[in-house]
Amino acid sequence: MSATPVFLVTGLDAGSMAAATIGLQFDLPDAVVVRHDLDAAAGHLVRTVSDLTGLLEREVVPLEHACTSCAVREDVLPTLERLGAIGRWGAVVAHLPVAADALSVCRVLGWDASVAPGVRVAGVVTALDGAAALDDLLGDEILPERRLGTLDTDRRGVGEVLGAMVEYADLVAIFGETPEPAVELVRRLARPGALVTADWPGLRAEQLLPGLHDHDASEAWVGEVHDGPSRESEGPHAWTLELTSTRPFHPERLREHADVLGGGPFRSRGCFWLASRPADVIAWDGAGGQLSVGVTGSWARATPLTRILVTGLREDDARERLRATFEACLLTEAELAARGPFWDVASDGLESWLGPVRRAA
């Protein structure tokens, strides 16, 4: 029996996510819809399953930890496999918890299809409220301020979370009246080849069932380390700036200027390396003035690279300031000549961000 196609619906706006889910249900033959709603305060997940005949099941699932990653591991993946393996429906539409991304589901199935052999990811859909898209993607709110059902300890920025969803999606469905700058911004954030639709009219089953998802392309687009062609460009409403160098950041100057590089109404992401931590690949992930950095791996035999992609609007064009600040954070040629790019230090002042320095053996 072939694996049942699954479409994952993500987003932060409940109304837009519901509209996308309903649209998929009507566009797909014999589809079943599974919806997960996370209530972090109560410590449980509500799962409902329905098809065109009506509600089939509703269950409140207690979670060991009321977070989106636990919800995916403990109930979303097992439920997808259960519904797909039944063989009763032609497709599964999975309305994920608000603020839960599809990346974790896709990576688990991409790494080991035997986890859920009855299903395959056919598409990742991110649903947006068009009227709020600019504020959602570039504003400075954090998740607890939206009361999205996530834990209060989840202090990620709204723009950081939604931007990552748009970047991973195969289809971005924008609902409602949407200003042109918002549409252009979304197209710039979305993976090349992904569909971006305003007032989504839906898709025919023959377009959906073969599958929209390109796992390798999605992973390459969202990867922290990008050493391919430049992605820098500009349009009538928005721009994308690429800040790149083979020189490392100076830890002290980065700490002093991080509010400029990571602040403002921009989406920024990529990687950097530090002279004080030359072995570490450090991810850069920010939006709307909220910035997250963290060690994600080791350069090993790869050439260290600092590369940050920044996307913003023409009305907030700070590209020259960003270029100048970026250059100021890098080691100068004189510093490289005098001290080299690989420092062996006990401390660099960034421990509160990155943890202790790992000294060379």
Domain stop point among 199, 222, 245: 222
Residues 200 and 330 in one domain: no
- pLDDT band of residue 358 (cuts 50, 70, 90) is confident
Q: Please, are residues 113 and 2 in contact by the beta-carbon 8 Å criterion?
A: no
Residues 210 and 142 in one domain: yes
**Percentage of residues of the chain with pLDDT beyond 90:** 76
Tokens linked to 135: 């504020």
Residues 273 and 195 in one domain: no
For residue 228, being part of any structural domain is answered with no
For residue 51, being part of any structural domain is answered with yes
List all residues 6 or more positions away from 37 whose beta carbon is below 8 Å from its beta carbon: 45, 46, 48, 97, 98, 149
Residue with tokens 């004189």: 334
Tokens linked to 329: 């954070």
Find the largest Cα–Cα distance for the chain: 74
**Rg of the Cα trace of the chain?**
22
Domain stop point among 166, 189, 222: 222
What residue type is assigned to position 213 of the chain? H
For residue 359, being part of any structural domain is answered with no
Say how far apart CA 100 and CA 12 lie, in whole Å: 8
Residues 105 and 141 in one domain: yes
Q: How many domains does the chain contain in total?
A: 2
Could you report the per-residue pLDDT of 250-303, keeping only the tens digit for each?
Answer: 999 999 999 999 989 999 999 999 999 999 999 999 999 899 999 999 999 999
Pairing mode of beta strands 306-313, 267-274: antiparallel
Residues 266 and 325 in one domain: yes
Residues 74 and 47 in one domain: yes
List all residues 6 or more positions away from 207 whose beta carbon is below 8 Å from its beta carbon: none
- For 123-163, the DSSP string reads EEEEEEEGGGHHHHHHS--BHHHHT-SS-TT---BHHHHHH
For residue 198, being part of any structural domain is answered with yes
H helices present in 314-354, as ranges: 319-329, 333-339, 351-354
Q: Please, are residues 222 and 168 in contact by the beta-carbon 8 Å criterion?
A: yes
For residue 227, being part of any structural domain is answered with no
Strand partners, 196: 172
Looking at residue 70, what is its pLDDT? Answer: 66
**C-alpha neighbours within 13 Å on the C-beta side of residue 90:** 15
H helices present in 139-284, as ranges: 143-146, 158-168, 180-189, 205-208, 215-222, 251-261
Tokens linked to 71: 């919800």
Domain stop point among 167, 187, 222: 222
Could you report the per-residue pLDDT of 23-57, keeping only the tens digit for each?
Answer: 999 999 899 999 998 887 777 889 999 999 999 99
Helix axes 103-111, 77-86, angle to 10 degrees: 60
Supply the mean pLDDT for the chain. Answer: 91
Say how far apart CA 274 and CA 179 lie, in whole Å: 40
- With residue 68 as reference, give the H or E element that holds it: helix 68-71
Residues 178 and 263 in one domain: no
Residues 110 and 16 in one domain: yes
Could you report the per-residue pLDDT of 219-262, keeping only the tens digit for each?
Answer: 999 999 988 889 999 999 999 999 999 999 999 999 999 999 99
Looking at residue 361, what is its pLDDT? Answer: 47
* CATH number of domain containing 298: 3.30.1220.10
Enter the DSSP assignment of 76: I
Residues 238 and 217 in one domain: no
**Percentage of residues of the chain with pLDDT beyond 70:** 96
For residue 28, being part of any structural domain is answered with yes
Quick one: how far is CA 275 from the chain centroid? Answer: 28
Instruction: Tell me which residue range forms the domain holding 152.
Output: 4-222
Q: Which residue has the higher pLDDT, 106 or 114?
A: 106
- pLDDT band of residue 109 (cuts 50, 70, 90) is confident
* CATH number of domain containing 81: 3.40.50
For residue 121, being part of any structural domain is answered with yes
Residues 189 and 261 in one domain: no
Say how far apart CA 277 and CA 113 lie, in whole Å: 36
Residues 14 and 96 in one domain: yes
For residue 195, being part of any structural domain is answered with yes
Residues 196 and 245 in one domain: no
